[in-house]
A and B are shown apart, each in its own frame.
Chain A
Amino acid sequence: MYTAEISRDNPSCFLFLIDQSTSMEDEVSAGDGKQAKANGVADTMNRWLQELSIKCAKSDGIRDYYHVGVLGYGRRVGPCVNGTSPGKEMAPISEIAENPARLEERIKKVSDGVGGLLDQTIRFPVWLDPVADGGTPMCRAAGEAKRILTEWLAAHPDCFPPIVIHITDGESTDGDPRERIQELTNLASSDGNVMVFNIHMSDNPNATSVTFPDSVDELPDEYSKMLFETSSPLTPTMRALCSEHGFNPSETARSFVLNADMILLVQAIDIGTRPANLR
């Protein structure tokens, strides 16, 4: 299981579920400073999409090793990156790469080779803008994700299993999402079940983060236990990546982090999405 080759003939997919509720306006630790969670998530997603596009790029264009969907949930539930649309929530990475909402020009300092720095203009693609508006309809979002992945799996029955990255900062406002999220992990290709990676963000600088737990023992409340229980076990590849990032999860650890700041968010997304079987 989890050994299928990822190729253009047999692509895999990532589906992001992103909490866009009003509380995502609150600030979270980001290195030396702070930034609104919604801004941090949008920045992280734009960089991630950029990196995946570059990873899949060859001299003759982008190879569609992956399809990607990003579903936001807050006042509305729906796709929120350019290149996807309602009814076509998953798009090949080439279509996403070719259709950023805009290309911003940013100045980057680079070495001039003789001890000084030069300003270099680079093009930075933006697909996703920060949104923090409304409640937290987690049940509806998980239901939409199930519909999207069921369709995708029907078209790609032998794929490396889809990975769902769920980023949230608060409790569901439309009911208990436990069953809905578990239904996602019941979906499967011939190579294994869909994996759900839950990343909980906290704006409380005193909150203790919990990384890749293997039991509910150290979790503070029912809400975090729900996220733990709906998170998939880490694969051996993910556990190896955890070690690269300085974590040491047990063999039964789940793909779940609680009270993440921006740094942990980026690490967790890397662990959940770094390709292992790309051909």
Chain B
Amino acid sequence: MWVCTRVFHVPKRGNAEAEYEDAVYPERNLARQLGEFRCAVADGASESAFSGLWAQLLVRSFGKRKMRLEQLRRLFENAIKSKPVPWYLEKKIKNGAHAAFMGLLIRDRTQNGNGSDTEAGRSWRGVAVGDSCIFHVREDELIAVGPVTKSELFDNSPYLIATKAKELIRPRTVHHVSMMSGDWEPGDVFYLATDAIAQWLLAELEAGRPPWESLRDLCADDDTTLYARLIDELRTNHGLHNDDTTLLQVEVD
């Protein structure tokens, strides 16, 4: 399969780029022939310290097939223990870091050993904790969305992956891991989105204004400032939450 990605992200208004706490994998745009493709977005919780680092560890390890939570936690602990910190960070670090996560695995096994195509070989699987979302779009029609399916269901306390083993996913445990799956067809588009833009996309759908065509145009445009301008406009005039806002477009063919 031919995979083509576009990555867009804007930090929350008033924050510097270095303060951006979402994470996305792959970080750069990609266009490549692949049999399997992994991508992810994560949203580091604003109230944690070092949550951007945690979000990055999560998406990179998923992308590189190294998703071992215990190893990641040790890596995180070692990274932040390396220097003395003021009293307020000492306590904050003890509270750990938290992030919402959405990972996507797309497979193309249509080329079997005999070289013949099998439709069933085009599959995808998604795994999510929290309110970062996947949208599966075919010919400007939404095929699947999750784990949040209505704009009104977003709130300030999503389930998150924690760096502290005892609160694997707070406040309860694995019940809040969402698994999704489906088949894809050549020409399909997937969007992975952190909560603010995901909520807006759902609200547009609910209002009878499917955003896919304009989103496709935006992703196809060489002007990389278009996304930032769109987000700025939505924050100013359409109530988009002022939050780090990340969108990953994946086209498969």
CB distance from B154 to the nearest CB of A (A): 15
Q: Do the beta carbons of A57 and B14 come within 8 Å of each other?
A: no
Q: Do the beta carbons of B88 and A54 come within 8 Å of each other?
A: yes
Q: Do the beta carbons of A58 and B88 come within 8 Å of each other?
A: no
Q: Do the beta carbons of B14 and A7 come within 8 Å of each other?
A: yes
Q: Do the beta carbons of A58 and B14 come within 8 Å of each other?
A: no
When the two chains form the complex, which single residue of B47, B88, B91, B242 contacts A62, counting CB atoms closer than 8 Å? Answer: B88
- At the interface, yes or no: A267 with Cβ under 8 Å from chain B? no
Q: How many residues of A contact B (CB 8 A)?
A: 22
A8-B14 contact given A55-B47, A278-B46, A279-B242, CB 8 Å threshold: yes
Q: Do the beta carbons of A58 and B242 come within 8 Å of each other?
A: no
A100 to B88, CA, bound (A): 11
A59-B89 contact given A5-B242, A279-B243, CB 8 Å threshold: yes
- At the interface, yes or no: B107 with Cβ under 8 Å from chain A? no
A123 to B53, CA, bound (A): 25
Residue of A nearest to B89 (CB): A57
Q: Do the beta carbons of B243 and A57 come within 8 Å of each other?
A: no
- At the interface, yes or no: B90 with Cβ under 8 Å from chain A? yes
Would you list which residues of chain B between 33 and 65 have a CB under 8 Å from chain A?
46-47, 49-50, 52-53
When the two chains form the complex, which single residue of A8, A54, A59, A123 contacts B50, counting CB atoms closer than 8 Å? Answer: A59
When the two chains form the complex, which single residue of B12, B88, B242 contacts A57, counting CB atoms closer than 8 Å? Answer: B88
Q: Do the beta carbons of B49 and A58 come within 8 Å of each other?
A: yes
Q: Do the beta carbons of B88 and A9 come within 8 Å of each other?
A: no
Interface of A toward B, CB cutoff 8 Å: 5, 7-9, 50, 53-55, 57-60, 62, 97-98, 100, 103, 122-123, 125, 278-279
Interface of B toward A, CB cutoff 8 Å: 12-14, 18-19, 46-47, 49-50, 52-53, 80, 86-92, 95, 242-243
Task: List 16 interface pairs A-B (beta carbons < 8 Å), by A numbering.
Answer: A5-B242, A7-B242, A9-B14, A54-B91, A54-B92, A57-B88, A59-B50, A59-B52, A59-B53, A59-B89, A60-B18, A62-B88, A98-B86, A122-B91, A125-B87, A279-B12
